[in-house]
Amino acid sequence: MNFRSLGLVQRGFSPVVRLQQQQIRNLVVYRSSKSKGGIRNPDDYLTSGSRKYELNEDNLKHIKGYLSSIESGKYQLPDRLLLQVITHKSFAHGKLPYNEKLSILGYSLFSMTTAKFALHIAEVSKARDVVDVVNSTGFKLLNRNSMLDVFSSLTGLAKVVFWKNPEPLNLDGASALNKTVERNTVLALIGAIISQHGTKSAEEFVINEVIQQAVKSDYFQPLESTA
């Protein structure tokens, strides 16, 4: 066959068939918190510590058990909402339902409730001036972070949170971030109670569970000694 007579050469076709060698790449994934920039095992994104993110009884039994123990389960929540409560936005790159908006909602009511409760105590204690108010037990309730820490510690809520530490080798940073994550989780729980049971029930929860837990703890002891 005359390729030239068919005009194929002029059109850029060649009678020579070139075989291109296909390159095969092996993809290796790894599990490590120390290396950066590589392709990580997808399972790592869905794991917090030794716990895998799933809607199951193992992940929810701790927080469900706590809620069931309060006033015959008055504040119980749906499983999917509970899973969202204990999921921080740092987990799985924020691709799963996380608790940020719930914590914002919870913070609004928590701040209002603690302020009202503090002013009520100051009034009952017959504080005579600003100094008396500042030195009163009620005013110390405005140290909201301490109350959230007490509640988280007593309930063990921090043990069930799904989150990722952005700097796993920085122990000081990890500790500071963990406190923030714990507090946001408590606030998200309050926000979830608002969404399911209403503001009044959530306010009762804050007073009877969060504030009263702080009052009964050793949190006030060093503060009272300086009053």
Q: Convert the pLDDT of each residue in 135-189 to its tens digit.
A: 555 566 667 888 899 999 999 998 899 998 776 555 544 455 589 999 999 999 9
pLDDT at 97: 96
pLDDT at 45: 74
* Tokens standing for residue 167: 């700097």
Q: Collapsing DSSP states into helix, strand and coil, what is residue 118? A: helix
- Calpha distance 144→109 (Å, rounded): 12
pLDDT at 104 over 90: yes
- Calpha distance 13→33 (Å, rounded): 53
Average pLDDT over residues 69-94: 95
- Calpha distance 180→189 (Å, rounded): 14
C-alpha of 214 from chain center: 21
Return mean pLDDT, the chain.
78
pLDDT at 92 over 60: yes
pLDDT at 146: 86
Average pLDDT over residues 118-126: 69
Q: Collapsing DSSP states into helix, strand and coil, what is residue 87? A: strand
- Calpha distance 213→150 (Å, rounded): 7
Confidence of residue 27 (pLDDT cuts 50, 70, 90): low
| DSSP label of 47 | E
Confidence of residue 109 (pLDDT cuts 50, 70, 90): very high
pLDDT at 214 over 90: no
pLDDT at 94 over 60: yes
pLDDT at 190 over 90: yes
Domains located in the chain, CATH noted:
52-225 (1.10.1520.10)
